[in-house]
Structure 1
Amino acid sequence: MIIIGHPDIPFDPLYYVESIEEIVKTPSNSTLWLGAFADAKEIAQHCYENHIAYGVMAESVNDALLANALHAQYILADHSLASKLQKIAENYLFDAKILVPISDESEMEIVAEAGIDGVIFQDAIIFSEQS
């Protein structure tokens, strides 16, 4: 199980960007956080074309399918959608990992029992005002 952002486990944070221009402000070789896929398709396309690792939030199966086709590293979704996406990801051999955003360690067990790739804590994402 992938666990990103837990205080006891070292991790590489995701850097939130809202535009292609903001990418240059992030550390080289970092993974970007684009937010909702529906609002970040242009940035996702740019990341795909330039081989930049990124994660997005999927709000539908179609979002996840498109994000995977654009080589997203992480596809985040709420628990109920993540369960559906995990089955699709296994069937179609997604390269992207399906993650559920959580706020408490106790939620990890539920995600693990559902067979979802992993979890991500809010602290794993660095927003521009923190950098």
Structure 2
Amino acid sequence: MKLIGHELVPYEPLFWRENARQIEAGKQNLFKFDAASIKRAQELGAQFSVEAENLNEVIVANAAGAKFIIMPRELAGKAAKLAQDYLFDAQICAFVESENELAALSETGADVAIFKTAVIGKDKR
């Protein structure tokens, strides 16, 4: 399992974008699944990742070129199976609060655990 945002592991930060106008080339953009934002990232040739809420969004995000697809933990297992069955290029991810959640997340088959400190510009909830 890959870790993003852990203090001992080097990583590239993700930059939270509220809308398509904020997307920048040269940075790893992160936004809620949104067709306009995906189109803008594609036009700029920018790397992007999405927060998906359902498996339909997962399928489209992967096909559109997302690097990371962040799922609610309860759907991460289904998304990981889908990604494995169809050889997705995107990696299935979920947010974690601490190292204590890594073992449980690993049981879902998710590729990446993202600590919230890795995301710049998003409310840390």
Aligned to 1:23: 23
Bigger mean CA deviation after superposition, 46-55 or 84-93:
46-55
| Identity percentage of aligned residues | 33
* Distance 1:128-1:3 versus aligned 2 partners, 3 A rule: closer
Give me the TM-score of the superposition, normalised by structure 1.
Answer: 0.85
Evaluate the alpha carbon distance shift between residue 81 and residue 128 of structure 1 in structure 2; reply closer, same or farther with a 3 A threshold: closer
* Residue number in structure 2 paired with 1:118: 112
Matching of residues 100-111 of structure 1 within 5 Å: 100-111=94-105
Structure 1 residues not aligned, in runs of 5+: none
| Equivalent position of 2:30 in the other structure | 33
Q: How does 1:70-89 map to 2 (within 5 A)?
A: 70-89=64-83
Amino acid of the structure 1 residue aligned with 2:16: Y
Tell me the matched-pair count: 123
Task: Name the SS of the counterpart of 1:106 in structure 2.
Answer: helix
Q: 1:63 to 1:118 in 2, by over 3 A?
A: same
What is the TM-score with the length of structure 2 in the denominator? 0.89
The residue type paired with residue 52 of structure 1 is A
After the TM superposition, which segments of 4 or more aligned residues of structure 1 sit over 3 Å from their partners? none
Taking the aligned partners of 2:93 and 2:100, their CA distance within structure 1 comes to 15
* Aligned partners of 2:80 and 2:108 also within 8 Å: no
Give the deviation of 1:128 after TM superposition.
7.4
Give the CA RMSD over aligned residues: 1.7
Offset at 1:126? 0.4
Paired residue type of 2:4: I
Please state how far the C-alpha of 1:98 moved relative to its aligned partner.
0.2
Unaligned stretches of 5+ residues in structure 2: none
Distance 1:111 1:2 in 2: 11
Q: Is the 2:68–2:92 Cα contact (8 Å) retained in structure 1?
A: yes
Structure 1 residue 63 displacement after superposition: 0.8
Q: 2:45 is matched with which residue: 43, 51, 57?
A: 51
